[in-house]
Amino acid sequence: MRQFTELAYHETPLGALSLRRRRMLGLDIEVLEVKLGEDFLMSSLFTAGERALANLAIAAAPEGRLDGLVGGLGLGYTAAAALDHVRVNSVLVIDVLPEVIGWHEAGLADLGPRLVADPRCRLQEGDFFAMARSGAAPAPGRFHVVAVDIDHSTEAWLNAANGDLYTEAGLRSLKAWLHPHGVFALWSDAAPDAEFLARMGQVFPRVEAEVVAFDNPLRHAEETCTIYRGWAE
């Protein structure tokens, strides 16, 4: 029995990108995973952080109907979690790799058919970091929630150019995309970064870093990630 099947492979400016389905014999399950070069970027075995990113952001957003922006499509768990909320009016998902969007449109990613079929959801190719640097927000221009899950952490970036986002200037650009009382949220695979949280505090009147715990069945242990939130005035 084959332990994994490669569903898609692409050479991209960021490196070799592959989507594959793996049979995990010890757990008797199949998982979908993404590799970029030799790094495992994401797996359907670990989705608690992606879902918490959307849920915590929306829980903190102002009352009423919401327009959301998700930076980073991945396997689609953040976007899907956002769409689970009935008060979400729209979710625009920006991803720099057209190949990843293509996986969802072709149904290769498990959540793809759901995202593509939901009229509230739109998948758009684009460089989220370049948009932040330029200050040019994607349409509709203002959002109640901006949720970002692209880099590994505030210090471990997929691309060196991404570092601008984590500066005060980058955070101010994102804040300008928010409606009053809107929420910026960021996923990180690392423990809370006090220096980054302090920079957020120079931009947003209220900030916090929440640690999210989840089970790792491969290690039979609990692991954590961090969700940062900043509230606009």
Q: Is residue 205 part of a domain?
A: yes
User: Quick one: pLDDT at residue 79?
Assistant: 98
Report residue 126's pLDDT band, with 50, 70 and 90 as the boundaries: very high
How far apart are alpha carbons 118 and 143 in whole angstroms?
19
The one-letter amino acid code at 54 reads A
pLDDT classification of 137: cutoffs 50, 70, 90: confident
Q: For residue 192, is it within any domain?
A: yes
Which is more confidently placed, 87 or 28?
87
> Considering the domain boundaries, does residue 14 fall inside one?
no
Average pLDDT, the chain: 94
* pLDDT of 27 strictly over 80: no
| Tally of helices (H runs) and strands (E runs) in the chain | 7, 11
3-state secondary structure 120-165: CEEEEECCHHHHHHHCCCCCCCCEEEEEECCCCCCCCCCCHHHHHH
The yes-or-no verdict on residue 158 having pLDDT over 80 is yes
**Predicted local confidence at residue 24, as pLDDT:** 79
| Residue 2 pLDDT level (bands cut at 50, 70, 90) | low
Band (73; pLDDT cuts 50, 70, 90):
very high
Total number of domains in the chain: 1
Q: Residue 193: which CATH number?
A: 3.40.50.150
d(C-alpha 181, C-alpha 88), whole Å: 16
In Å, the largest CA–CA distance within the chain is: 56
Select from 135, 139, 129, 134 the least CA-distant residue to 176: 135
Global confidence as pTM: 0.94
pLDDT tens digit string along 175-220? 999 999 999 999 999 999 999 999 999 999 999 999 999 988 777 8
Residue 84 has pLDDT above 70, yes or no: yes
Instruction: State which residues form the domain around 131.
Output: 46-231
Smallest CA-to-CA distance from 107 within 214, 3, 8, 222 is with 8
